[in-house]
């Protein structure tokens, strides 16, 4: 009697792409069960390629969250963001192309136009919880499915964790047979310093008015660890004095809220106490200068 052949381990890179705000980062976080990528109600939250890793008995999923593909303004920052998307597409084993249930517009079509023909692309219809009338989901799925030769179509809800196992099974079918690339407990390839800057940036999206988060960035000037304690010194860079006043708020109240919420998130993610100081600095033109962008961590 011969033993049944053991199923080979599978491991590969899974790009998550789509127009801004379709739920790419939320989906990655729920798939891996940790919040490594920041999210918000506002479009254009993600600005970097961020890896989220999940290892199970027979596979390692290396998800790559990307910025929403920008079609509106073309400053140096947005060009950099779009290059991040196209570079990621070129180096993936599987692609998740996300749309929002019930919505397919020109910005979604532009991302379809970028999809390579030689990599399996799964159409993921997210926010399906928002579609009250389930009868419209099928015609919508058929409409989007007609735009490209998708390898599979999966409606999900990242928020309610609906159909995520089904999605993961589909992805696994397309992963190459490979040994794991990361350790089984790794959840990202990003440093704590990077994750700290992203957490502060998320709070800007949460607590500061509509336009300001787009014209600001966060720089970690010092990150030290002493035993369990992390000391983090962060600078929020803004374009104008008026922006600085808005972030600081009345008697410093808003900056205090941003700081304490950021500290709590860091303590949760790093699993230890954090001492955090945040300064707001005016640095005009930071988003439209390529050399400057590299200095601030934009690839």
Ligand X SMILES: Nc1nc2c(ncn2[C@@H]2O[C@H](COP(=O)(O)OP(=O)(O)OP(=O)(O)O)[C@@H](O)[C@H]2O)c(=O)[nH]1
Which helix (H) or strand (E) is 207 found in, with range? helix 192-207
Indicate which single residue of 10, 13, 25, 81 sits in contact with Mg ion (rule: CB under 5 A): 25
Torsion 31-34-35-40 (CA) sign: positive
In the range 99-138, which residues lie near ligand X by CB under 6 A?
Answer: 126-127, 129-130
- CA-CA distance, 27 to 15, in Å (whole number)? 12
188, 171, 55: which is closest to 124 by C-alpha? 171
- Residue from the set 45, 60, 92, 262 that interacts with ligand X by CB under 6 A: 45
- Which of 43/115 has CB closer to Mg ion? 43
Spatial distance between the Cα atoms of 289 and 263, rounded to a whole number of angstroms: 30
66 vs 262, beta carbon nearer ligand X: 66
- Does residue 67 have a known ligand-binding role? yes
Contact letters (x/-) for ligand X, 131-170, by CB under 6 A?
--------------------------xxx-----------
Does residue 243 bind ligand X (CB under 6 A)? no
Residue nearest to ligand X (CB): 68
Please give the structure tokens belonging to residue 10.
Answer: 């599978």
Q: Is 213 in the site for ligand X (CB under 6 A)?
A: no
Residues 55 and 40: their CA atoms lie apart, in Å, by 27
**Chain residues 14-43 in contact with ligand X, contact rule CB under 6 A:** 20-26, 39-41, 43
- 75 CB neighbour count, 10 Å cutoff: 15
Say which entry of Mg ion, ligand X, none residue 129 contacts (CB below 5 to 8 A, set by partner kind): ligand X
Quote the strand ranges of the chain, DSSP E.
Answer: 10-17, 50-56, 59-65, 94-100, 121-126, 152-155, 217-226, 229-238, 274-282
87 labelled binding-site residue: no
37 annotated binding-site participant:
no
Residues that bind ligand X (CB under 6 A): 20-26, 39-41, 43-46, 67-68, 126-127, 129-130, 157-159
Binding-site positions for GTP? 18-25, 65-69, 126-129
């Amino acid at each position: 009697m011969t033993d049944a052949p053991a199923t080979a381990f599978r491991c590969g890179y899974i790009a998550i792409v789509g127009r801004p705000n379709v739920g790419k980062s939320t989906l990655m976080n729920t798939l891996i069960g940790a919040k490594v990528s920041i999210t918000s109600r506002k479009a254009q939250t993600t600005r970097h390629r961020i890896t989220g890793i999940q290892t199970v008995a027979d596979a390692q999923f290396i998800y790559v969250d990307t910025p929403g593909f920008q079609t509106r303004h073309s400053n140096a920052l947005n060009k950099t963001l779009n290059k991040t998307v196209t570079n990621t597409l070129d180096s993936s084993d599987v692609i998740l192309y996300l749309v929002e249930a019930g919505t397919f517009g020109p910005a979604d079509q532009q991302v379809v136009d970028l999809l390579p023909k030689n990599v399996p692309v799964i159409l993921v219809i997210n926010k399906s919880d928002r579609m009250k009338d389930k009868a419209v989901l099928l015609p919508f799925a058929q409409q989007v499915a007609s735009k490209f030769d998708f390898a599979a179509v999966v409606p999900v809800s990242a928020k309610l964790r609906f159909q995520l196992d089904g999605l993961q099974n589909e992805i696994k079918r397309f992963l190459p047979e490979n040994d794991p690339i990361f350790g089984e407990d790794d959840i990202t390839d990003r440093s704590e310093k990077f994750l700290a800057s992203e957490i502060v940036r998320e709070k800007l999206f949460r607590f500061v008015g509509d336009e300001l988060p787009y014209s600001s960035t966060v720089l970690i000037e010092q990150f030290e660890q002493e035993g369990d304690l992390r000391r983090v010194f962060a600078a929020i860079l803004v374009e104008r004095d008026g922006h600085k006043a808005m972030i600081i708020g009345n008697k410093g109240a808003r900056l205090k809220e941003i700081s304490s919420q950021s500290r709590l998130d860091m303590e949760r993610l790093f699993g230890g106490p954090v001492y955090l100081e945040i300064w707001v600095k005016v640095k005009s033109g930071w988003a439209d200068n390529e050399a400057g962008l590299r200095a601030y961590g934009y690839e």
